[in-house]
Structure formats: C-alpha cells, structure tokens
C-alpha cells in the first residue's frame, strides 16, 4: 500500500521486512553514508531491471517496514512483482538483498603509518587512564554494527554554553546523537604508568617484577619478545582488535635506568617499533610525571617523515578546575623544550575536558571556557562525570562494552571521530 507524503517529492510506502534484513540495510546504508530510502530505491530499480527474480529470501517473522520512494516507483514495482509471481514482501526482500550484495561493506580505512597517541598530563587524577581506555575502545568498535555517537554540533553547542546558563538548563539538555558504524581499527593500549591503573581497570594482571616488561626493553635488557606480554581485551565485543601491553611496578625505576641508556629519548620507540606493524593505532597512557619517561613518550609521539600533521602526537587530558591549568603549562613547556632541543615536531591533537559537571558552578563553567579559549590546541572532547565509568572500573570491564549507550560512551566515540 502507499500513501501520499511530502519527503523531498517522494511518497511513503509501507510493506513488511524481516528484522535481520532491515538491520543489515540500516548498517550498510550508514557505512556508505547514504539514506535508507536511497538504498531501497536503488535496490528496487536494479531488481526490476533483471530478467527474473533472484534467489528466495527467508522472510519469516517479517514486520512493518516503511520508506519513501520516487512517485510511481512503488506501483511499477508491484506490477513487476505480480508478473514474476512472487509476494510483495518477497520482492522487496530480494531487492534489498540485491542492493546489499552489490554494495558490500567498505574496507576499514587504515593509516599508512601506525598512529601513535600519547595521553598525558603532569597532574594525576584527571582521568588519563579512563580516556586512554575509552578512546581505544571507540577506535576498535565493530564496523559492521551501529553505535550511538554524539554528533559534532552537540559538542560545539556544549562548548558554547556560557557560564550564565542555568544549571537546570545544562543538566536537562539532551545529547544529540546518531548511529554510526564502528571504526574497526586495530588498537594497542600501552600502560606506561607504574601504578598499573589501565592494566587493573581492564581486568588484566600487572607484569611480575621478576619477569619481562616494557621497562626492560626500554633499558636495553629484554628477557623475551615484547609481543608475548600483550593480552587481548574483551574479544566478544572487540573481536580481537583491542590489545593491552600491561604495566609492571618496575616502571617506578624507569627514569633511573634510562639515565644510563644512550639516546634515551628514543627508548620507547625502540621498544614498541617491532609491534607497530600489527596495529593501526598505539595509545600510550603516560604517568603523571615530567621525567625522562615523559621525554621518551613525547619523542615517540613525534611526527615522522611522511606522516601528515595531526596523525600522531599528544592528547592532553584536563579537568575544569585551576590545578589542571597549572599542570598543563608545565607539560606543554616540557614538550616545547623537547621540540626545540631535538628539532622535532610533536603535534598537539587536542584537549579533552574530563569529568565535567556544570552543576559544580562557576569554577567548572568558567574553567571550561578557559580551555575553549585556548584555540590551539582546541578542545576535542567533553566527557561528563557519570557513574558508568566508575562502575566499569569496579567491574574491571571496558566502558564501551559495560555501558555502550551511556553518555560517557557516546562522548568517547565522538572523541575518536574528532581525532580520527
């Protein structure tokens, strides 16, 4: 049946479709960046142009499905269906399956050079570990499924919010979201902090002090292959794309051991470079330190020959309060000094304002405005202070598998796309 509607000079049509086929259509249309109605229109047109019907599609459990088509296409389609002696539902299912078959899922776009992102701030307690984990999870999510993402204009709207807006208005303002396919990248999370927070939060075990570790490899005293230390995180949700290099408490001694190493600023790169071919992105959760380990991390995130600006670099995590600003100045001074001393380029990928809650009043809102006013680096993420992250940590599960529809998860996906 059809009924008149005004949607770009199209008419609304209503039929039935099995749920699995409707979901496949929704995902594939999003992967190709087109509207569902455009995909259905193309499928019907191609199916009608065939000499005969295609293979029968299982339509058991079909329920209501509606879309908008060009005027006259539905009636012409009904005539072809009748001529081929198949049901209307079967004809529509074959048309959509034909479109899916001729428009396969696009390949995941992989960087030519493994991206290296150091997540840092000299101040502890700002949530670097949570951002490292959440960003890595968002980069590794399933590309053949749809996930809720905070759209860019919603982030921009939040960042434009003035400190004069009422707390109730900000608290009740709903997120504007859309459903997008996962990015499907191969991601390695490196726990570079001797406190082992990232390791513990993701349910892995810190490496034993008497065994091998990243510290040993950086100090030139490896006890095996670094690959043997890598563990996979939640294969059920990330299908083997998300890995972790756990930390060891021996990293407390890293600066002392690096002091005796030649070209110590390149020690992290020498250790991790053999792993790079296995990953699209390597995220390093840096310690709250301004020592030699931070120099090594900054050097690792430098722009390499042939690499585009903004592919690798430093992602700085802050909170909307004054002490974060002091720590930010210390960190950027150290990175800038390293750039000048070694004549290298270390790109700032942006600032993530974490654990934000406008209900905390003027300190929070005015501090947020201060971060926005910096402009370079710009604010690329605004992550709210919500209970789901704390619960995920308690449960030792990735946030995006524990609470995939939470506001924090939605914000992490937005962050991943801002720096992708």
Q: Given 64, 81, 102, which residue is the final one in a domain?
A: 102
* Residue 154: pLDDT band with limits 50, 70, 90: low
In this prediction, residue 6 has a pLDDT band, given cuts at 50, 70 and 90, of very low
Predicted TM-score (pTM) of the model is: 0.90
What's the mean pLDDT in 235-242? 96
Domain-embedded: residue 110: no
Statement to judge: residues 29 and 155 lie in one domain: no
What average pLDDT does range 153-172 have in this prediction?
51
Burial degree of 34 (CB within 10 A; 0-12, 13-18, 19+): middle
> Looking at residue 208, which CATH number applies to its domain?
3.40.50.300
pLDDT in tens, 260-275: 889 999 999 999 999 9
Domain-ending residue, one of 76, 102, 128? 102
Q: What is the mean pLDDT of residues 316-341?
A: 90
**pLDDT tens for each residue of 337-387:** 999 999 999 999 999 999 988 888 888 888 888 998 998 999 999 999 989
Residue 171 has pLDDT above 70, yes or no: no
In a domain, 61, yes or no: yes
User: Tell me, what's the pLDDT at 133?
Assistant: 98
312 and 245 within one domain? yes
Q: Is the pLDDT of residue 147 over 80?
A: yes
Whether 345 and 389 share a structural domain: yes
CA angle 36, 410, 65 (to 5 degrees): 25
Supply the mean pLDDT for the chain. Answer: 91
User: If pLDDT is split at 50, 70 and 90, which confidence band does 43 have?
Assistant: very high
> Are both 93 and 138 inside the same structural domain?
no
Question: What local confidence, expressed as pLDDT, does residue 166 receive?
Answer: 42
Of all residues in the chain, the percent with pLDDT exceeding 90 is: 77
Residue 151 and residue 239 in one domain: yes
What percentage of the chain carries pLDDT values higher than 70?
92
pLDDT of residue 170 exceeding 50, the answer is: no
Verify that 133 and 97 share a domain, yes or no.
Answer: no
pLDDT of residue 151: 72
Residues 86 and 134 in one domain: no
Q: What are phi and psi of 67, to 5 degrees?
A: -155, -175
Asked if 88 and 13 sit in the same domain, the reply is: yes
Q: What is the pLDDT of residues 330-341, one digit of tens each?
A: 999 999 999 999
pLDDT digits (tens, 9 = 90+) for 211-236: 999 999 999 999 999 999 999 999 99
| Domain count along the chain | 2
Question: Is residue 108, in this structure, part of any structural domain at all?
Answer: no
pLDDT of residue 323: 79
- The CATH number given to whatever domain includes residue 35 is 1.10.1220
Question: Does 128 lie in the same domain as 8?
Answer: no
Are 124 and 195 part of one and the same domain? Answer: yes
Structural domain range at position 29: 2-102
* Of 58, 74, 102, the domain-final residue: 102
């Amino acid at each position: 049946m059809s009924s008149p509607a005004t949607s770009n000079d199209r008419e609304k049509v209503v039929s039935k479709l099995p749920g699995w086929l409707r979901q496949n259509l929704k995902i594939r249309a999003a992967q190709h960046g087109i509207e569902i109605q455009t995909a259905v229109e193309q499928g019907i047109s191609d199916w009608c142009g065939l000499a005969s019907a295609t293979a029968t599609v299982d339509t058991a459990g079909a329920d209501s499905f509606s879309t908008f088509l060009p005027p006259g296409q539905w009636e012409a389609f009904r005539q072809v269906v009748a001529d081929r002696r198949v049901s209307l539902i079967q004809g529509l299912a074959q048309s959509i399956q034909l479109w899916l078959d001729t428009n396969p899922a696009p390949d995941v776009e992989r960087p030519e050079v493994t991206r290296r992102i150091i997540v840092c701030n000299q101040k502890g307690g700002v949530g670097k570990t949570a951002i490292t984990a959440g960003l890595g999870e968002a980069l590794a999510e399933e590309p053949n499924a749809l996930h809720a993402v905070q759209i860019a204009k919603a982030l921009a709207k939040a960042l434009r919010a003035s400190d004069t807006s009422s707390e109730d208005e900000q608290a009740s303002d709903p997120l504007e979201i859309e459903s997008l396919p996962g990015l499907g990248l191969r991601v390695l999370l490196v726990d570079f902090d001797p406190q082992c927070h990232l390791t513990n939060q993701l349910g892995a075990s810190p490496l034993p002090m008497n065994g091998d570790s990243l510290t040993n490899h950086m100090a030139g005293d490896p006890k095996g292959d670094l690959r043997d230390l890598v563990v996979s995180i939640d294969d059920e949700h990330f299908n083997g794309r998300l890995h972790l290099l756990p930390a060891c408490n021996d990293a407390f001694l890293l600066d002392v051991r690096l002091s005796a190493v030649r070209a110590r600023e390149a020690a992290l790169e020498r250790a991790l470079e053999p792993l790079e071919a296995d990953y699209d992105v390597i995220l390093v959760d840096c310690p709250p330190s301004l020592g030699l380990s931070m120099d090594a991390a900054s050097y690792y995130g430098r722009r390499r020959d042939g690499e585009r600006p903004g592919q690798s670099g430093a992602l700085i995590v802050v909170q909307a309060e004054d002490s974060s600003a002091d720590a930010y100045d210390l960190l950027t001074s150290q990175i800038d000094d390293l750039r000048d001393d070694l004549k290298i380029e270390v790109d700032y990928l942006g600032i993530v304002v974490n654990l934000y809650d406008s209900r905390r009043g003027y300190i929070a809102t005015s501090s947020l405005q201060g971060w926005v006013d910096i402009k370079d680096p710009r604010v690329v993420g605004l992550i709210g202070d919500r209970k789901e992250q704390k619960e995920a940590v308690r449960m030792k599960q990735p946030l995006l598998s524990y609470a995939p529809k939470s506001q924090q998860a939605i914000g992490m996906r937005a962050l991943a796309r801002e720096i992708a």
